[in-house]
């Protein structure tokens, strides 16, 4: 009787980052991080209201965070034309997420005049009005996440620049290792490669769920440097011969 081979789970399919499947994979990962960060930020804000974690009562905390971060955008960009454009992007992101999430329709339905032809179930509206602070906080948090997404788009060129620097430096180090007869380590390459995506997704996720005002430079600055570092180390360990 032949010995059965132990079951080995199939290896995940490798997708090249620049291929169509790789780009779709990156897009889905970004969408997943955005939706998860949005929902978690709302839940954290609601927990803060329920357990009295915030100094300001009710939805005033999320409103204050939104105002603070929008004021930072006005103060950090000195060029008048560029400042207005950035502020417009932030307000546009806040408005779009508030609109497409359905919260705008829910709020209008709750505060609508009950004498309208189809006001909806009155008991449900009255129940939701008792949780007005939570609904208003969700509205402010949704606008805050939309504004932060606009800031995230502004940080993408920094990631691209640091990644490009890492690619150039890494390829130079690879050629030096190749011509100098250095050892090749596929183990280091495959493990370093896994660290590249978290260096971009982790700061975005932390920025979206932060319940306090967080300056983007303090959060994205270290991660952009780490992104370039891991890109450089990964390509420096790339195999010598293609």
pLDDT > 90: what percent of the chain? 18
Task: Write the pLDDT tens digit of every residue in 169-183.
Answer: 988 888 887 777 666
Look at residue 2 in the predicted model and tell me its pLDDT: 54
Integer Cα distance of 214 and 203 in angstroms: 11
Dig out the tokens for 229 from the structure: 């570092």
Cα four-point dihedral sign 159, 160, 162, 167: positive
Q: What is the mean pLDDT of residues 141-163?
A: 87
Q: Is residue 61 within a helix (H) or strand (E), and if so which, with residue range? A: helix 60-76
Look at residue 214 in the predicted model and tell me its pLDDT: 86
Q: Is pLDDT larger for residue 120 or for residue 46?
A: 46
In this predicted structure, the answer to whether residue 162 has a pLDDT above a threshold of 50 is yes
Look at residue 175 in the predicted model and tell me its pLDDT: 82
Query: 217: which residues sit within 8 A by CB, 6+ positions away?
Result: none
Task: Write the pLDDT tens digit of every residue in 101-126.
Answer: 666 666 666 655 555 555 556 666 66
Chain mean pLDDT for the chain: 78
**Residue 242: half-sphere exposure toward Cβ, Cα within 13 Å:** 4
Domain residue extents for the chain: 25-236
3-state secondary structure 103-137: HHHHHHHHCCCCCCCCCCCHHHHHHHHHCHHHHHH
Distance of CA 23 to the CA centre of its chain: 17
Taking the whole predicted model, whether its pTM rises above 0.85 is answered as no
**Most confident range, picked from 16-20, 110-114, 200-204:** 200-204
Give all strands (DSSP E) within 10-109, no chain letters.
none
Q: What is the mean pLDDT of residues 146-159?
A: 86
Look at residue 1 in the predicted model and tell me its pLDDT: 46
Least confident of 19-23, 78-82, 197-201: 78-82
Dig out the tokens for 12 from the structure: 């995940």
Look at residue 31 in the predicted model and tell me its pLDDT: 87
Distances in whole angstroms, Cα of residue 54 to Cα of each of 45, 57, 63, 144? 9, 7, 12, 17
Cα four-point dihedral sign 41, 43, 49, 51: negative
| Burial (Cβ within 10 Å: 0-12, 13-18, ≥19) of residue 11 | exposed
In this predicted structure, the answer to whether residue 164 has a pLDDT above a threshold of 90 is yes
Look at residue 130 in the predicted model and tell me its pLDDT: 64
């Amino acid at each position: 009787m032949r010995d059965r081979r132990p079951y080995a789970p199939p290896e995940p399919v490798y997708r090249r980052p620049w291929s169509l499947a790789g780009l779709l994979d990156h897009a889905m990962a970004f969408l997943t991080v955005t939706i998860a960060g949005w929902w978690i930020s709302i839940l954290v804000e609601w927990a803060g209201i329920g357990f009295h974690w915030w100094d300001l009562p009710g939805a005033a905390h999320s409103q204050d965070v939104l105002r603070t971060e929008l004021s930072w955008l006005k103060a950090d960009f000195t060029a008048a034309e560029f400042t207005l454009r950035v502020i417009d992007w932030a307000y546009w992101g806040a408005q779009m997420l508030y609109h497409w999430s359905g919260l705008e329709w829910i709020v209008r339905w709750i505060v609508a005049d009950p004498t309208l032809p189809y006001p909806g179930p009155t008991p449900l509206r009255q129940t939701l009005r008792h949780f007005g602070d939570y609904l208003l906080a969700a509205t402010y948090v949704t606008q805050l996440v939309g504004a932060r997404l606009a800031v995230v788009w502004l940080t993408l060129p920094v990631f691209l620049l640091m990644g490009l620097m890492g690619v150039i430096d890494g390829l130079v180090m690879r050629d030096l290792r190749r011509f100098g007869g250095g050892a090749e380590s596929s183990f280091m390459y495959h493990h370093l490669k896994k660290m590249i995506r978290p260096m971009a997704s982790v700061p975005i996720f932390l920025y979206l769920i932060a319940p306090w005002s967080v300056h983007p430079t303090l959060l994205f600055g270290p991660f952009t440097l780490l992104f370039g570092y891991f890109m450089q180390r990964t390509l420096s360990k790339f195999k010598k011969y293609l």
